[in-house]
Amino acid sequence: MRLVVPDDLKQQVLDLFCASPAVSSVICLENAAHKPHGHVILADVAREDASVILGDLRELDLDHRGTIALEYVDTAISDAADAAEKAAKGTPSDAVVWEQVENRTSEETELSFAFLAFMVIAMLIAGVGVLTDSPILIIGAMVVGPEFGPLAAICVAIVQQRRDLAKRSITALLVGFPLGIAITYGAAELGRALSIGPSELIDASQPLTNFISHPDAFSVVVASLAGIAGMISLTSAKSGALVGVLISVTTIPAAGNIGVAAAYSDWNEVEGAAIQLGVNLVCITIAGVTTLYIQRRYYLNRRRRHLRDPIRKQAGLPMGRSRRGSVVLSPKDLEELQKTETAPES
């Protein structure tokens, strides 16, 4: 973490970092920051406790009065760093840094020229794949398609009840899919006029890509598993599995198939592809929300336990409750906290 801290919060932040067993390599550069003015504090924080520590920093109002920046450390050769990682419960690869998830999904919901361009290009590639019965082009379209970003953002928005994020994500999909389908339709019509491609669509001539417009029970299973894997990949430290998730879902190929089939007036094909598209969107969203909800509940339980941690006292934070009111202890937890506070010191 790299922080810019105003003078009156400096000691509280340092006390918080130095008291936390999950933090190491704490450095303070006094009056090193000029915009905003303040002290620069650097610290290595175990990924498992990153969101918990960030919650404390937000309670100190540092996100409004200073700055908080997160950077991933590839390699740390230090006994102190090893001890900090061991002190944090869990494993780094399973830990979710919710602030990073929010930032990543927010960036991918912007209705930008690049997003729309990738949507259109992906559907055009899928359209050619359908016309030529080429699985390679279908896979290429899946990888190029950027639709998983807004879908993941919708899941995050539902779990965290963020209407602004949900609105941006839904808008991106509602604009991107119709635009891509319309342009793919126009390209298919132009191809027919120039005698490029087949004269008509026949199922028998598409044995390798016929599955796109013929959804079945496996479509539900694959889309659901892809939603789960996608969320785990998005929230984990290692996101290499995300490419595999993109290849397993047929949202972009189905949308491209709608445009191509409409140009050939094959309405049965249009209907089948539309159902495939709907099945994928719904199942990915439901599976993604379920996965994120479970992960979020685990984090909230951890955050509640942290509210009883003595290190909060050293940072001047209240015990048993959050200043911002997002997390509070249950009556049982409060009772245990009171017993702990009234117990004689050893």
Give residue-wise pLDDT tens across range 14-73.
999 999 999 999 999 999 999 999 999 999 999 889 999 999 999 999 999 999 999 988
Decide if 346 is inside a domain: no
Decide if 305 is inside a domain: no
Higher pLDDT, 222 or 343: 222
Q: Is the pLDDT of residue 326 over 60?
A: no
Clarify whether residues 22 and 103 are in a common domain. Answer: no
Cβ(261)–Cβ(213) under 8 Å? yes
Out of 283, 299, 315, pick the residue that ends a domain.
299
Decide if 319 is inside a domain: no
What pTM does this model have?
A: 0.81
Decide if 57 is inside a domain: yes
Decide if 199 is inside a domain: yes
Higher pLDDT, 195 or 69: 69
Clarify whether residues 68 and 150 are in a common domain. Answer: no
| 8: three-class secondary structure by DSSP | helix
- Residue 121: predicted pLDDT: 96
Clarify whether residues 82 and 154 are in a common domain. Answer: no
Full domain range(s) for residue 120: 99-299
- Residue 327: predicted pLDDT: 53
Higher pLDDT, 28 or 327: 28
- Residue 346: predicted pLDDT: 39
- Residue 75: predicted pLDDT: 85
Out of 56, 73, 95, pick the residue that ends a domain.
95
Q: For the chain, give the mean pLDDT.
A: 86
Q: How far apart are CA 68 and CA 102, in angstroms?
A: 14
Clarify whether residues 131 and 232 are in a common domain. Answer: yes
Q: Which of 305, 328, 309 is nearest to 317 (CA)?
A: 309
pLDDT bracket for residue 168 (50, 70, 90)? very high
Clarify whether residues 88 and 106 are in a common domain. Answer: no
Cβ(206)–Cβ(130) under 8 Å? yes
Q: Pick the range with the lowest mean pLDDT from 58-62, 81-85, 320-324.
A: 320-324
Clarify whether residues 146 and 278 are in a common domain. Answer: yes
- Residue 240: predicted pLDDT: 52
Higher pLDDT, 234 or 37: 37
Residue 181: which residues within 8 A CB-CB, separation 6 or more?
123, 255, 256, 258, 259, 262
Cβ(230)–Cβ(156) under 8 Å? no
Clarify whether residues 155 and 293 are in a common domain. Answer: yes
Continuous segment of H or E residues that includes residue 282: helix 267-306
pLDDT bracket for residue 7 (50, 70, 90)? very high
Decide if 338 is inside a domain: no
Decide if 131 is inside a domain: yes
Q: Pick the range with the lowest mean pLDDT from 129-138, 205-214, 238-247, 267-276.
A: 238-247
Q: Which residues of 3-17 are buried (b: 16+ CB within 10 A; e: fewer)?
A: bbbbeebbebbbebb
Higher pLDDT, 304 or 331: 304
Clarify whether residues 179 and 89 are in a common domain. Answer: no
Decide if 339 is inside a domain: no
Clarify whether residues 72 and 165 are in a common domain. Answer: no
| 202: three-class secondary structure by DSSP | coil
Cβ(115)–Cβ(176) under 8 Å? yes
Q: Is the pLDDT of residue 329 over 90?
A: no
Clarify whether residues 108 and 90 are in a common domain. Answer: no
68 φ/ψ angles, rounded to the nearest 5 degrees: -130, 120
Out of 49, 80, 95, pick the residue that ends a domain.
95
Number of compact structural domains in the chain: 2
pLDDT more than 90, % of the chain: 53
Clarify whether residues 58 and 175 are in a common domain. Answer: no
pLDDT bracket for residue 337 (50, 70, 90)? very low
Q: How far apart are CA 81 and CA 51, in angstroms?
A: 18
- Residue 286: predicted pLDDT: 96
- Residue 242: predicted pLDDT: 61
Clarify whether residues 88 and 107 are in a common domain. Answer: no
